Amino acid sequence: LHLVVGEPGAGKTILAHHVGARVAREMGPVLYLTAFIETHHTLLHQARQLGLLDPKMLAERRFFYSSLAPFLERGGLKEVREEIVRMVHE
């Protein structure tokens, strides 16, 4: 588990996609979690526009996106933890 934090525009999304795409290609599935305002559409658009993510990775279920925002709003960190555990097992 890697947590990337920083100011807006620091390059967190680009870094996460670079690392995630390489791991997905060479080692196995990647679960990309966000708890903020970035929608999956926005993340996919950015990744594709920068050439960071091969669409085949999504189709072949090697790169997964999920938002923790609803779980954070609904049940706080306890529910976020439970959702992360559930997704990792899945």
Q: Cα separation of 62 and 39, whole Å?
A: 19
Per-residue model confidence (pLDDT) at position 85: 93
pLDDT in tens, 43-61: 777 777 777 777 788 778 8
Provide the terminal-to-terminal Cα distance of the chain, rounded to the nearest Å: 16
* Banded pLDDT at 86 (limits 50, 70, 90): very high
In single-letter form, the type of residue at position 70 comes to: P
* Pairwise CA distance, residues 51 & 4, whole Å: 20
Assign 62 a pLDDT band (cuts: 50, 70, 90).
confident
**Where would I find the beta strands (DSSP E) of 27-67?**
30-34, 63-67
What does the pLDDT look like over 5-47, one tens digit per residue?
Answer: 888 889 888 888 888 888 988 998 999 888 766 677 777 777 7
Is pLDDT at 66 greater than 80 in this prediction? Answer: yes
pLDDT value, residue 37: 65
